[in-house]
Amino acid sequence: MRAPLREARDASPCISYMGAMYRYTWDHEAERRHRRRNVLHSTLLLGGMVALLSACGWIIAGGNGVLMALLAGSLSLILSPRLSPGLVLRLYRAQPIPRWQLPEVHAVLEAICSAAGMTRVPRLHYVPSRIMNAFAVGNRDDAAIAVTDGMLRRLDLRELAGVLAHEVSHIRNDDTWIMGLADTVSRLTRIMSLLGVLLLAFSLPGLILEGIPVPWLLVALLVFAPTLSALLQLALSRTREFAADLDAARLTGDPVGLASALDKLERQEGMWWETILMPGRRSPDPSLLRTHPHTRERIERLLALQIPIRIPTSPVAILLPWDLPPSRRGWRIRRG
């Protein structure tokens, strides 16, 4: 079977999904602008987290404290146990999808991996949940992508291609490792902060009796460093999502496919009566506390990458085999 999509390399790429044709001119300047922004944000945020950890070490023990903090971070990253993709998939009761069950989806995934320059195609898994979701686990050498029943039944092939490309981008960009590094730095910052506060509590009476001024600004930094590090970690997660969206659009040459999938995902979250009775239910939380960017902002960035030339024909539905296990309500999978 011929690959259903190919990477856009010219000014007016043509993407074919089982006979449905789409033509776009690619806005290369918008792509470069988004890419520069994502790289800069990721570098600054991760650098800020390391700077906070180093500051906590310096407050506790000066230069030696900085070296100790960085050494502890390196050792933790090297020695920390890594969950195998198989274990994570078992936790979600994910089951492998043979190629004969969904040949079109496997062909799309293989074409995306080929465009991404990946020699190994991630294993495709099915999660029996009605919630629309997908996630990737592992690295380039051992990776898997899981898709829920709700997503397979509600997305057409074009939209699912965008979702799969997004997950492949996470794998290719080593986002699992980057977020693991950020989590390690955040945990060490909490430990260093707690240690510094305990040392200060024991030393405070002596400082007061001897008339030594207490550096309250440094104390405040110790107290609030874990919170600041957690906020930077959340911001880094949102930046990596934007980067994965951009790479996914480049791999498929079709930013509208992923934008359409995100729009469906946004509209399908929750029950219909929640949308009617509580129209503002999705936006009570501050943006700083979100692991993912607002869906509207993601869609706007994707649509800014293309200029449509011709309206697409009818979408291609994904025909699911009858022997797939029924979906069940329950746990929610983090969007990846």
Residues acting as catalytic residues:
167
Length of the chain: 336
C-alpha distance from residue 314 to each of 16, 19, 311 (Å): 12, 9, 10
224-230: long-range contacts at Cβ-Cβ below 8 A with a sequence spacing of 24 or more? 225/52, 225/55, 225/56, 225/189, 225/192, 225/193, 226/186, 226/189, 226/190, 226/193, 228/52, 229/49, 229/52, 229/53, 229/185, 229/186, 229/189, 229/190, 230/186
How many CA within 13 A on the CB side of residue 49? 29
CB 158 within 8 A of CB 244: no
Residue with tokens 């988004």: 34
CB 262 within 8 A of CB 299: yes
Question: Please, where are the H alpha helices in 24-142?
Answer: 28-79, 85-91, 103-115
d(CA 122, CA 134) in angstroms, rounded, equals 13
Residue with tokens 């000066």: 62
C-alpha distance from residue 13 to each of 105, 202, 266, 332 (Å): 21, 67, 28, 37
CB atoms within 10 A of CB 268: 16
Question: Going edge to edge, which strands form the sheet with 134-138?
Answer: 95-96, 123-127, 143-148, 134-138
For residue 332 the two structure tokens come to 């929610």
Nearest to 186 by CA among 51, 21, 29: 51
CB atoms within 10 A of CB 314: 8
